[in-house]
Structure formats: C-alpha cells, structure tokens
Amino acid sequence: MKKDINIIVVLIILNLILKSICLGDYNIDLDEPFSLYHANGDLKYLLELLKWENNPPLFFIILHFWIKIFGIGVISARFLPMIFSSLVVIFIYKTGKKYVNQVAAIGASLLYTFSNQNIMEAHDARVYSLFVLLTCASMYFYLSMIDSGKKHKYLIALTITNILLIYSHYLAFFVILTQVIFTLVITQVRKKIFRQYLISFGIMLLAYLPYLYIFLIRLTTTLHDGLSAEKSKLSHLYFLLEAFCNYHPTIAVLFLIILATFAVFLFVKRQTLSVQQIIIIGWFVIPYVLMFLISYKLPMTIPRYMIFITPGLFLTVMMAVSYLGSKVKFIAIGLSLVCVCLMAITTDLNYSLGFQSKKAVGIIRTLKSDSTRVYIFPRWIEIVFTYHYNLDIFKHFGTYQEYLNKDNIYALSQPNDIDTSRLKNVKDVLLLIGWGADIQDKDNLIAKTLIQKIGPMDTVAILRSYSIFHFGENKIKKQLARKD
C-alpha cells in the first residue's frame, strides 16, 4: 500500500512538472477568453449564460471561484486544468494495478503523462481535463463496486462522481451509457450490482432534472447546427488513434499491431478476461465506435471531444502487452518500455495550435494612432483581442465593448456591419481578420468596402490564424519597421 502511494505521488509530481514547464508559453486563445470572461461575471449571469453555452455549468462555476482568488493571468487561469490533468494518473494507476498488474498500471500512467493531446488540454482553460479526471474516477468506482464487498462505499462515490460528470460535459452520457450497457449485458455484473447501479442512476437523473430543460434545448440546437467536426469517414478511426498517439504513425501502427495480436491471442488460446478487464476495453471501444457511427449524422469525431477515452486506450494497450508477455516477463516489460519511450520522445511539452493572437494585437497596438479606426472580424475574436489588448478592460464585465469603442475599435458580426456613413472623416483603418473569417466573408466584402471608402489595402502581417490589413495612404509597413 505504501509503495503504491509512493508511485502515485511520483506520477503526480512528474505530471505537474512536465505540464507546468510551458504552461504560459503560448497565447490565451480560441475558447479560453470566453471561459475566463464569463466565469469572471456573477453566478446569476453565469447560470443564465449556460442556457445557450455548449457546456454544462460545473467547470465555469469552479473557474469562477478560482479566478476570484488567483486572477485571470495566463498561468493562474491554466493552473487549474493543469492540476485536474495531473490528478488523472491516480485513477489510471489504481485501475491498472487493481485489475491488470503493476507494470500495466505504471505503463498506462506514463503513456497518459506523455500524451500530447492531454498535455494540450492541461494547458487549456476549458473543461476537458476535468472531464477526463471525472471519467477516470467514475470508471474506477464502477469497477470497484462490481468486485468489492463495500458496495455502499463505492455506490456513494460513483453516484456523486457521475452527477459531477454529467454537469461537466454533455458527452459524459457516453460514459454513463457504457456503464449501463455493461450492467445490462454482462450477467455477472447484472447479478452483482444491478439494483445498486439502478439506485445510483436514478439519483443521478433526479440531480440532473434542474438542468434537463437546458440540455434538451442545447441538444435540439446541436442537432440542427451540428458540431465543429467533419462527418465520419472510415479513415477517421485511424486518425483518432494517431491523434492519441502524439500524431505519430509509428506509435499508432505499433498500438494497432499490439491490439490486433492481443485479439488473435485471446481467440486462439481461448483465453478469458476478467469482467473488469472487459469493461476497461469497453471504456475505450464503445464510445470510440458509437461516436464514430453517430458522426455520420452529427459530426463529433475530433480528438478533444473524445479525449475521455484515452485512459481506456492506454490501459487496454498495456493490458494487451501484459497478456502477450505473460509467459516471458521481460517481453512484457520490454514492450512496455518501447511504448512508453516512443510516447516520451514524441512528447511536445508546448503542444498547442500556435495561434498568434497576442502578436497580432501587439502589432495593432503599435500601429494604431488616436485617429486610426480598427475593425475586428469575426466578432467572436473580439473577446480574444480584448484579453491581449487591455486586461483591465477585459475585467469590466459586460462593458468591455464600450471601452473598445471609445478607443475607436469595433467588432463586425458580418460584412455589412460597417457603418459607411461614419467613414467619411476616417483616413486610416486597420482590419484584424481571425479564424473562421473565410466562412463568414467568402467574397471579401469587408476589404472591398474599405478599399472603396478609405483607400488602397496594404498587407501588414499574415500570422497563424490572424491577418492584419491597413487601408489608407500611409506607408504602414515603413512605420512598423521604424517602431520595431
């Protein structure tokens, strides 16, 4: 027991160290400013917001209290998800040790530790690291309830965890569905915990009733609008696996070979797995296949949506390695080391999309004079811009747009939002174009309007997911060069 605690502590410390090294090295961007801005508001507003937000309220509420204490700087904002991500190894190790063996437990924990996708979510002030943590806790308590004499203890733990889980992300219902399937389908599980799981499930649903109406609204909207992913293709099954293998084909192919060999081994040798081991495999396989099939109608097969299955994948791979090397121990240890080393050497501690919002805002701040008008498009990058432009303005909940307008900065929702009547005395315009603009303004109507009303267009900078253009007669590039 003491040895296990020591191993877990070392794994947590390793995660904290690795995930903190580059915690503040890249821009707050994408949905992070949205989370920070709205979590900075009061709780009443926050609960109103969640009627049209794509995630349930748990992470926003936790983040609300976190930033009230620690602020909304880059490090403080990301420290919370980094902690959540680091604690996941507790449940990966405990599950692996209890239901496979210690080598598999350590191996799966290290595969998770060196997973780029999980490192990225540890550096993201969004819900996904919490989602993975609660999923791992839920599966551990569910597995423990099956074989433990202390069912009531794990029943309470599972019920509380599952309530938190469904209040963290809508996709949590795939975790619950996986548990329901195994409870109904596997006779041994049904006999042991059907009544207890039914009680847990009922309490969970009752706890969700206050949010059920909002869930149905969001579900209807999502079915109508879809998610930000492509519809399924068969190649997506491999793409997702490769994404979870640090986007490295060698690791993905190795994992596939190990899993395929394991399946053949079980079939040929007529080897049987424990119920818990079958469930661990199902933790990965069932959501992986179901979400892929559903994505033919409602696209959702992108890595961050499916990140909650990665611990199940890593445990399954290490379980397969253990079985394949069951007769010769050094084969299991050697193959485990190969898998872990490949993940380790392909780990990018600063793994991110590399968006350059901070640099873009810095250029605009450098070039902008009191008479310069700035347009931001699409409107959804306005909050990203504000975070990097002036953090004090960002903190003015509900009024930051007024402060931007006073600085002659305006966000555009669509091309025809430009009030051309107010351009009569404007001689100098900077236009910041962000991600998604090509969809919103396919015909470049904004640029055409500004060229017509202000003057010739000069390309100032083309950055990762951001572009800056100047309209007017001033030689803006020479001005930028002098200020640099």
Helices (H) and strands (E) in the chain, counts: 23, 5
Do 373 and 428 touch, CB atoms closer than 8 A?
yes
Order the strands of the 466-471 sheet from edge to edge.
409-411, 373-377, 429-433, 466-471, 457-463
Burial of 436 (0-12, 13-18, 19+ CB in 10 A): middle
What is the per-residue pLDDT across 397-444, written as a single tens digit (0 to 9) for each? 778 888 888 888 999 888 888 877 777 778 889 999 998 888 778 888
Give the residue from 241, 329, 15 showing the smallest Cα distance to 337.
329
**Residue type at position 468:** I
State the Cα–Cα distance between residues 437 and 12, nearest whole angstrom: 41
Do 390 and 403 touch, CB atoms closer than 8 A?
yes
Burial of 14 (0-12, 13-18, 19+ CB in 10 A): middle
| Eight-state DSSP code of residue 228 | S
State the Cα–Cα distance between residues 413 and 38, nearest whole angstrom: 20
Burial of 42 (0-12, 13-18, 19+ CB in 10 A): exposed
Do 280 and 312 touch, CB atoms closer than 8 A?
yes
| Eight-state DSSP code of residue 253 | H
How far is CA 229 from each of CA 53, 241, 284, rounded to the nearest angstrom? 18, 16, 20
Do 431 and 406 touch, CB atoms closer than 8 A?
no
- Among all chains, which residue has been given the structure tokens 């390793």? 14
State the Cα–Cα distance between residues 5 and 19, nearest whole angstrom: 21
15 CB-near residues (< 8 Å, 6+ apart): 85, 86, 88, 89, 113
Total residue length of the chain: 484
State the Cα–Cα distance between residues 36 and 20, nearest whole angstrom: 19
Domains of the chain by residue range: 2-345, 357-483
What is the per-residue pLDDT across 309-337, written as a single tens digit (0 to 9) for each? 999 999 999 999 998 887 777 788 899 99
State the Cα–Cα distance between residues 231 and 8, nearest whole angstrom: 40
Which residue numbers in the chain have pLDDT < 70?
A: 49-53, 149, 218-232, 299-300, 474-484
State the Cα–Cα distance between residues 130 and 61, nearest whole angstrom: 12
Q: What is the pLDDT of residue 387?
A: 92
Give the residue from 258, 464, 476 showing the smallest Cα distance to 372.
476
